[in-house]
């Protein structure tokens, strides 16, 4: 039996709980996966740490040994109370509803989590909309979501999440994690990615999110058709977009999936949406 599984069983016994599927709880029990995650966190040399969904503490056990301020965000009230009793700072709130600016102190913040699958895409986008704050992230995803995050243009997995993640972050794979690396085992494979914030020429991140989301609204439609409503709002013509696409080497029949993340930035800025 792995050491992490032994710690899990002991902590669950102390808490008197089982994993709650309603909260997306699948507890990590692989010593190797945990070691790779922690090593990546250490490589980022954090000055402050934030962990979402610590659960019984597979990662928390090691994060608290790094001797930097550690903030936990835990929605399960019984688990939150347990970590408070251990002397750790815990916010019993939904990570997607929380004002993260409260954590931004100017120090290098690393965000680490074995994320509940149902919030993983949303939390990456939320952190991408912030101009500062979290400097690095080490996050667990369902494998298909991880593929979307790193997919190149013209790939079947490429879409809104790919563009947003790649414009604002440098990403890398940390490790794979199979169903047996969790208790209870999920029905899907998982993958851990690291994120490092990239400099960007975009000033209005929310407008960029709207622009990209609109571009991918109906994947089968031409880019000019999907963007027609936004063009009218800006008093721009379809011809202006087609001309810009031609400059980038695209036909007027181009679809959103053909443009690279950087080409999205170019079109967004040159059409004057970044205001």
Structure confidence by residue, pLDDT tens digits, 151-198: 999 999 999 999 999 999 999 999 999 999 998 888 899 999 999 999
Q: The tokens of 86 are what? A: 């251990």
Question: Is 93 within any annotated ligand binding site?
Answer: no
Question: What is the tens place of the pLDDT at every residue in 116-142?
Answer: 778 999 999 999 999 989 999 999 999
Higher-confidence residue of 206 and 6: namely: 206
Local confidence band at 20 (pLDDT 50, 70, 90 cut-offs): low
Mean pLDDT of the chain: 93
Question: Is 28 within any annotated ligand binding site?
Answer: yes
**Residues 55 and 25 sit within 8 Å (Cβ to Cβ):** yes
Q: What is the pLDDT of residue 183?
A: 85
Q: What is the pLDDT of residue 186?
A: 87
Question: Is 252 within any annotated ligand binding site?
Answer: no
Whether omega for the bond prior to residue 11 falls within 30 degrees of 0, making it cis, is no
Q: Which stretches does DSSP call E strand in 64-189?
A: 70-73, 89-91, 109-113, 134-142, 169-177, 182-183
Asked whether residue 61 carries a pLDDT value surpassing 90, the answer given is yes
Domains of the chain: 3-197 (3.40.50.150), 205-270 (1.10.8.100)
* Triad 125, 32, 158: Cα angle to 5°: 30
Question: What is the tens place of the pLDDT at every residue in 230-271?
Answer: 999 999 999 999 999 999 999 999 999 999 999 999 999 999
Question: Is 76 within any annotated ligand binding site?
Answer: no
Residue 74 belongs to what H/E stretch? Answer: none
What pTM value is reported for the model? Answer: 0.93
User: Which of 194, 196, 197, 198 shows the shortest CA–CA distance to 39?
Assistant: 194
Q: The tokens of 218 are what? A: 């109906």
User: Which of 91, 68, 67 shows the shortest CA–CA distance to 79?
Assistant: 91
Local confidence band at 23 (pLDDT 50, 70, 90 cut-offs): low
Q: Which residues pair with 5 in a beta bridge?
A: none
Question: Is 94 within any annotated ligand binding site?
Answer: yes
Question: Is 53 within any annotated ligand binding site?
Answer: yes
Distance CA 63, CA 80 (A): 16
């Amino acid at each position: 039996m792995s050491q992490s599984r032994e710690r899990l069983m002991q902590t669950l016994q102390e808490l008197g709980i089982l994993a709650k599927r309603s909260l997306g709880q699948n507890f990590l029990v692989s010593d190797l996966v945990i070691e790779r995650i922690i090593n990546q966190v250490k490589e980022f040399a954090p000055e402050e740490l934030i962990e979402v969904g610590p659960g019984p503490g597979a990662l928390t056990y090691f994060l608290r040994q790094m001797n930097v301020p550690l903030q936990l965000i835990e929605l399960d009230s019984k688990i939150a109370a347990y970590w408070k009793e251990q002397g750790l700072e815990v916010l019993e709130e939904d990570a997607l509803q929380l004002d993260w600016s409260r954590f931004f102190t100017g120090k290098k913040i690393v965000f680490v989590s074995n994320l509940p699958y149902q919030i993983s895409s949303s939390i990456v986008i939320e952190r991408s909309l912030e101009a500062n704050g979290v400097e690095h992230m080490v996050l667990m995803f369902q494998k298909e979501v991880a593929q979307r995050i790193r997919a190149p243009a013209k790939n079947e997995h490429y879409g809104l999440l790919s563009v947003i993640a790649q414009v604002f972050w440098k990403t890398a794979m940390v490790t794979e994690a199979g169903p047996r690396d969790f208790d209870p085992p999920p029905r899907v494979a998982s993958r851990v990615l690291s994120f490092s914030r990239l400099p960007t020429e975009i000033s209005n991140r929310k407008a960029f999110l709207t622009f990209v989301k609109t571009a991918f609204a109906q994947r089968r439609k031409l880019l000019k058709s999907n963007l027609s409503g936004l063009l009218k709002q800006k008093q721009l013509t379809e011809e202006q977009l087609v001309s810009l696409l031609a400059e980038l080497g695209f036909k007027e029949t181009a679809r959103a999936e053909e443009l690279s993340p950087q080409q999205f930035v170019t079109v967004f800025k040159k059409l004057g949406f970044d205001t």
